[in-house]
Chains A and B, each alone.
Chain A
Amino acid sequence: MLRFIARRLLETIPVLLIIITATFFMIRFVPGGPFTAEKAVTPEILRNLEAHYGLNQPLYRQYLDYLGSLLHGDLGPSFKYPNRTVNEIIGDKLPVSLELGFISLSVALALGLTLGVLAAIRRNTWIDYVCSSAAMIGICVPTFVLGPLLVLTFAIHFGWFNASGWYTPIDRVLPCLTLGCVYAAYIARLTRGGMLEVLNQDYIRTARAKGASETRVIFRHALRGGLLPVVSFLGPAIAGILTGSFVIETIFQIPGLGREFVNSAFNRDYTLVLGTVILYATLIIGLNLVVDVVQVWLNPKLKFE
C-alpha cells in the first residue's frame, strides 16, 4: 500500500505542473487584464503598473519567475488587493470554507445516508417514496433557490437567524443546511442504489440464513458494499465542498475561498487565480487518492495496483 501511495504522490508532480502551466497561459490569453477598467488608465500609468508587477517581462520569463517563487511557497501579491498577498488571502479564507464544508458535509452525510438506507430497506413502500422524492427535490432545487427560501422562512418570517453573514455560530445554520441538503440528495440516491444492489447478493442471503439480525445484516454486511458508489462520489465532492461554494458564499455573505476562486478570474487577478487553482487541484488529487485507498479497504475484490 505504501508503494502505491508513494507512486501516486510522485505522479501528482507532473499533473500539477501541467495544471499550473495551462492555467498560467490560459488566463494570460483571456482578453482584458488586471488593469482593464471603465476609466482607462493612461499609457504611462499602465506602463508603470505593469513594471511593478513584472508584466513587462516576456511571458516565458514571468512563467519561470512564478515557478521559482512557487518553489519557495510564495504565491505572489494579489493584483486586485494591493496590500495583501495570495498566501494571506488563502490563509484567511480557506479556514472559513473548511468550516462551512465540514459542517455541510456532516449534514449531507447524516441526512443522505439515513434517507438512502431507509429507502433501500423499505423498498417500494411509502417510506421509500418519501425518501426518494425528497432526494429528487434536493437534486432539482438549486442552492440559489433553496438558500433564499430558507432565509425567507427562518430569518425573515420567524426571525430566528440573521439573513446572512458569518459573525456568530448561529450564522452557520442556514448556509450549512443549504449546502448540506444538496449533497445529501445525491448521497441518498447513491446510497439507495448501492444498498439495493448489495441486498440482492448471495452473501446477504447467507448472512440472513445464518440467523444474523436485520440490523447486523444491514450495518455490518450491506452498508459496507452499499457505500462504494458514495465513496467514489465523495472524493471530488469533498474537494468541492471544502474549497467553498461561490453561490452559497455570495448569497450568505460568507468570507470563504469559493468567492475568491470565481471573482479572481473576473478580476484577472492572475496570481490569485493560480493560487486557488493550485489549491483546488492539490485537494482533488489528494482526495481521489484517499478515495482509492478507502475503496480497496471497503471492497476486498480490489487490490492496490
Chain B
Amino acid sequence: MKIIVNSIAHNVMESNIHTILIELNYGKARVATALNGEFVTQEMRINTLLNEGDRLEILAPMQGG
C-alpha cells in the first residue's frame, strides 16, 4: 500500500499506525502521529487503519525557541 509519510511516498505492508511505525524503523521512539491532519493518540494507533494515499505525519522532539 502506498502512503505518504512526512511528505515522502512509502510502500508499506502494514495497515495500522502502530505496525507501520515498527515497519519504518521507529521502534519505541518518542513520536506523535497525525493522519490526514488529525492527531492520533498513542492508544489509538493500533486501531487506526490506513488507506491508499493517506498522509501520515510523524513528529518528534526538536530544538525550539
Partners in one complex: no
Question: Which A residues have a C-beta under 8 Å from some C-beta of B?
Answer: none
